[in-house]
């Protein structure tokens, strides 16, 4: 990248990155009643499904155990903080009711009601199931971004941006290979 291009990019990106860092994930209680109910009632979607993790105890495995458990693309994203190519996930077009769980540990992350089409090429959600993620600040692109990881297994899923739809204004941009869809 030429120096002028880099400087122009940083000048445009730094104010946006600072705003993202300050915004952070929206805490429970700050959302509309409809979204609060959606976040509370995701279990009803899976009442008859036993494929979801319910034990919140952390899942810790060795690198070799993760490699055996995950396909190579999922391993690269979840364990090495990689990113899949946009428009490659079949979950982009998923429209059925259900829950999106972590591909590494089956921890519930999003309900189908939380999903929206962001046009970015990655599955996107405007909120999460409470307790689904832990967040950190990522400086890999030289400006701060909010990165999120599965609260159960620590797997990397994506980044949170402040360009999502109402009522939260957030876009939880998730790698499709890091998810498993469990229909209701």
Out of 102, 150, 153, 173, pick the active-site residue: 173
Active site residue 105: no
Half-sphere exposure of 73 (CA within 13 A, CB side): 10
Q: Is the peptide bond before 150 cis (omega within 30 degrees of 0)?
A: no
Q: What are phi and psi of 161, to 5 degrees?
A: -125, 160
Nearest to 66, CA basis, from 150, 174, 183, 158: 150
Nearest to 151, CA basis, from 102, 184, 86: 102
Three-class SS state of 43: helix
Q: Which residues are catalytic?
A: 173
């Amino acid at each position: 990248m030429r120096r002028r291009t880099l400087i122009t990019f940083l000048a445009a990106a730094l104010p946006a990155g600072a705003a993202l860092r300050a915004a952070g994930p929206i805490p429970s209680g700050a959302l509309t009643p409809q979204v609060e109910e959606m976040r509370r009632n995701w279990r009803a979607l899976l009442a008859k499904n036993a494929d979801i993790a319910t034990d919140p105890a952390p899942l810790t495995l060795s690198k070799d155990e993760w490699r055996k458990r995950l396909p190579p693309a999922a391993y690269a994203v979840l364990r090495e903080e990689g990113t899949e190519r946009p428009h490659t996930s079949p979950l982009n077009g998923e429209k059925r009711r259900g829950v999106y769980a972590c591909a590494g540990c089956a921890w519930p992350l999003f309900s189908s009601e939380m999903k929206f089409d962001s046009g970015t090429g990655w599955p996107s959600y405007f909120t999460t199931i409470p307790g689904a993620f832990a967040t950190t600040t990522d400086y890999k692109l030289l400006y701060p971004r909010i990165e999120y990881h599965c609260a159960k297994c620590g797997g990397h899923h994506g980044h949170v941006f402040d360009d999502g739809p109402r009522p939260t204004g957030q876009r939880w941009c998730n790698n499709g290979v890091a998810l498993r869809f469990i229909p209701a």
